[in-house]
Amino acid sequence: MEADPTPSQTTDNAIDVALMVRIGAGDHAAFRVLVERHQDAVVGTVAKMLGNPSEAEDISQQVFLRLWHHAKRYRPEAKFTTYLFTITRNLVFNESRRRSRRKEVSTDERDEFSHLQVEANPDRRPDAELLQAELQQAVDAAIAALPEAQRMAVVLRRYEQLPYEEIATVLDLSVSAVKSLLFRARTTLRDSLSSYLAG
């Protein structure tokens, strides 16, 4: 059972809902504030889901454009972040399916991405830092290899610290199904990263 939201979480949600009301009335300043409040979380989630930081900005812009266009119809039936991450999920899953249809499977992208990660001069980095960067790449690759729903559940839980109930709403699943997804994902990740964990 998840703990009740803290006063700051309740206040954050009230601020977001108030901003959405203003956005629904066409308030551009309120929209800018809302984007600033949630941009990092959305961009980070999209980047981790697609494994391609350069596409994360485009998809994230689409998320916020959708918020703008649907603001008049927005009803705060769930937490605002649940609504936001549901839109994010839909766009990310659509993009994943578009890629698999076009056979743009991410080997080229992963090569490009790992090149970006290894760009720094190794001579200037201590061994521990190199190992940490290598481990982070291994974790990112292992998460990227998970099935779509498992990957989204892991990203929302691990990086966004969403409660199980909110993840369940975002993924349109029961809480027990989310826990099962996370259990399977963690088992897969443990197996994928066993050589690092053993070290």
pLDDT at 192 (0 to 100): 87
pLDDT at 104 (0 to 100): 43
CATH 1.10.1740.10 for the 7-198 domain, yes or no: yes
pLDDT at 91 (0 to 100): 95
**Three-class HEC string of 46-89:** HHHHHCCHHHHHHHHHHHHHHHHHHHHHCCCCCCHHHHHHHHHH
Return per-residue pLDDT of the chain as tens, 199 residues.
445 566 666 799 999 999 999 999 999 999 999 999 999 999 999 998 988 777 889 999 999 999 999 999 999 888 999 999 999 999 999 988 887 776 544 444 444 334 434 344 445 455 777 777 888 888 888 888 899 999 999 999 998 999 999 999 999 999 999 999 999 999 999 998 888 776 5
Tokens, residue 131: 């190992």
Tokens, residue 187: 């088992």
Q: What is the pTM assigned to this prediction? A: 0.77
Residues contacting 87, CB < 8 A, separation 6+:
63, 66, 67
Selection from 151, 150, 134 nearest residue 50 by Cα: 151
Domain boundaries, the chain: 7-198
pLDDT at 119 (0 to 100): 43
